[in-house]
Amino acid sequence: MAPLPLLLQQSWQELQRVPFNIPLLLVLFSSLYLFKRITRSKPNLPPSPPKLPIIGNLHQLGTLPHRSLQALSKKYGPVMFVYFGRAPTLVVSSADMANEMVKTHDIVFSNRPKTTAPKILLYGCRDIGFAPYGEYWRQARKITVLELLSLKSVQSFQYVREDEVAALVNKIHDSCLKKTSVNLSEMLIATSNNIVSRCIFGQKFEEEDGKSKFGQLSRRVMLIFTAFCFGDFFPSLGWIDVLTGVIPNMKALFKELDAFFDQVVEEHKTMKSEDGQANKRDFVAILLKLQKDGMLDFELTQDDLKAILLDMFVGGSDTTSTALEWVIAELIKNPNIMKRTQEEVRSVVGNKSKIDLSDINQMDYLKCVFKETLRLHPPVPLLVPRETSASASIGGYDIPPKTRVFVNAWAIQRDPAVWERPEEFLPERFKDNPVDFRGQDFEFLPFGGGRRGCPGLTFAVASIEYVIANLLCWYDWGMPTASVDGKDLDMSEVNGLTVPKKIPLHLLPTLHAPGSIH
């Protein structure tokens, strides 16, 4: 065997024979490494429509974004990547892609973008709807669902719904006696506001003209939430929102809201409980008691409490009145369906002077009408935007972190690949159909789904079904002008945080059963 120094010498001599090959190999391997890094760093993004410099695809949103984005998705696919200014945005427009997003990557897609309006109006996004995904959000949502929005809690507030619907019925009764038309849209907004206000605050805060004081504030919130903020799309241009007055207006509204909530909370803290009234406690009282008794697993500051209360009021009142408005509008436009629904309701109620919860549970066709209305007219057609907290893959495409995500429920619920004759109002499609709106069927998402699904679903449904049943039971409805029938009813929309009818419902009620109104 050769000694070790000799072996080393031979090896060195061999290396000296190929001096050019070593640097060549180094260059080759370095090039391969860099090529792989470059190809890996370029994500496989979903298809995207052409964008303009600076503004990106903002010009393609139109006055009704859910419709504009549906039209674009038909050309570019069910997952589409757009740029709204400097904000990269994913638009999901199919049930399959929504299913994959929520079931496979729900945690990654559970964050919210921190935009200007919720940061200012919701105490830095300390509510439930816009709070970042994390421990605070989980605890706040948990206590809200368990203590305020559970089925038991919703049923305990049935007396509020009965009181406010009775007041609505009596107002309509007075119009019947005078044979005058009513602005039903306005009445439905007032009734929804009153129900939610009493459940949350324990009172209605009505002005002398009968309008809700806080209802006026909440409508201003809805409008200003949809105001265009340069800072949301061009972060370096946020100063323009100060010059245009958007941010000063938001801050002025916030001061009004904050003072109102402080007053409500202080009144509740000094209020003495009445024996036997525990089942009539409002949301503020329930949260304050949990806070006082140390029953919360997290710190709930007064600002947190106020953010949650505003969240619940705005989310519960406007969406409810919008859904109610569209139900009646579709029934006016489809008189045969109206007649069938009324026959069912009146058959169930019989000679009783009051509709009970047990009656609602027997009104199967009414529930089909409600579902079909939510399919065609989801109150929030573009679900509240999410934001990716990490990279993810949807439909084989790469989605970068910090991407805003819109699920176009309106487009999904009118998809001809899923729904037969999707543009027609056909309540029968839900008869003996297991598809429901509770977030498990991704072709039908009016309340969203996954971790960020609407926690107030049960509360909203209870109010809507009860109001509709009463309106259909005690009255017949028609257009105020004899020459105009339901087929001529204007069904155009107006964009906002919710999408109500552009033209309010002015209808002529006729008393169906005088002996049943009291």
pTM for this one?
A: 0.87
Beta bridge partner(s), residue 56: 52, 84
Q: What is the side-by-side order of every strand in the sheet holding 79-84?
A: 79-84, 87-92, 404-407, 386-387
- Give the tens place of pLDDT for each residue, 447-470: 999 999 999 999 999 999 999 999
> Considering only CA atoms, which of 117, 322, 114, 379 is closest in space to residue 225?
117
Give Cα separations from 281 to 25, 59, 306, 483 (angstroms).
Answer: 78, 48, 17, 49
SS3 sequence of 332-363: HHCHHHHHHHHHHHHHHHCCCCCCCHHHHCCC
- What is the total residue count of the chain? 518
Q: Which fold has domain 58-407+414-516?
A: Cytochrome p450 (1.10.630)
Reading the chain (518 residues) residue by residue, the pLDDT tens digits are: 444 344 345 444 544 554 445 444 444 445 554 545 444 568 899 999 999 999 999 999 999 999 999 999 999 999 999 999 999 999 999 999 999 999 899 999 999 999 999 999 999 999 999 999 999 999 999 999 988 899 999 999 999 999 999 999 999 999 999 999 999 999 999 999 999 999 999 988 766 555 666 666 777 887 788 889 999 999 999 999 999 999 999 999 999 999 989 999 999 988 765 544 444 589 999 999 888 888 888 888 999 999 999 988 888 888 999 999 999 999 999 999 999 999 999 999 999 999 999 999 999 999 999 999 999 999 999 999 999 999 999 999 999 999 999 999 999 999 999 999 999 999 999 999 999 999 899 999 999 999 999 999 999 999 999 999 999 999 999 998 865 677 789 999 998 888 999 999 999 999 986 444 44
> Considering only CA atoms, which of 125, 464, 498 is closest in space to residue 314?
498
- Give the tens place of pLDDT for each residue, 366-382: 999 999 999 999 999 99
CA distance 88 to 82: 6
- Give the tens place of pLDDT for each residue, 289-348: 888 888 888 888 999 999 999 988 888 888 999 999 999 999 999 999 999 999 999 999
Q: Which residue ranges make up the annotated binding site for heme?
A: 454
Q: Which residue ranges make up the annotated binding site?
A: 454
Q: Is 244 left (phi over 0), alpha (psi -120 to 50) or beta?
A: alpha
